[in-house]
Amino acid sequence: MGIDIVEELISSNKKNYFNKNINFLTKDIVNFYTDEKYDLVLIRDFFIHINNSDIIQILKNLKNMRIKYVALNNYNIEQNKDVIIGQHRKVNLLIEPYNLPNPIFSFKDHENDKFLYLYKLEDLNRI
């Protein structure tokens, strides 16, 4: 399942990749909820474009869904800045205002200070 708020992107993905196992929805992920069960949710290159309160809301929503693992981008920066939606900045989920625990697994992404962190959703009790 792929989710994005941009209808043109979802239409293109449906045209090119849709099959019985792959689907795409136009949704606002900040307010998204599903009862479906998923092993993994990947949120990559998204939190850098939305404000801190929306990130916290997404993490809270995920905790209420039937998801085993979540993979999230993280940057090794010392302070999180807030942004207006659509702007760009790096986000460190291990520090204020998120304070997530250390992930169960991480690997370096394509940028020097960018990582992908894997969490068991049940371990995100601080949000």
pLDDT over 80 (residue 111): no
pLDDT over 90 (residue 85): no
What are the domain boundaries of the chain?
1-32, 38-123
> In which band, very low, low, confident or very high, does the pLDDT at 59 lie, cut at 50, 70 and 90?
very high
pLDDT over 90 (residue 124): no
> In which band, very low, low, confident or very high, does the pLDDT at 93 lie, cut at 50, 70 and 90?
very high
Place of tokens 């801190």: 52
Of 5, 2, 64, 57, the C-alpha closest to 31 is 57
Q: What is this structure's pTM?
A: 0.90
Neighbours of 93 (CB within 10 A): 23
* pLDDT of 50: 95
Percentage above 90 pLDDT, the chain: 86
* pLDDT of 126: 67
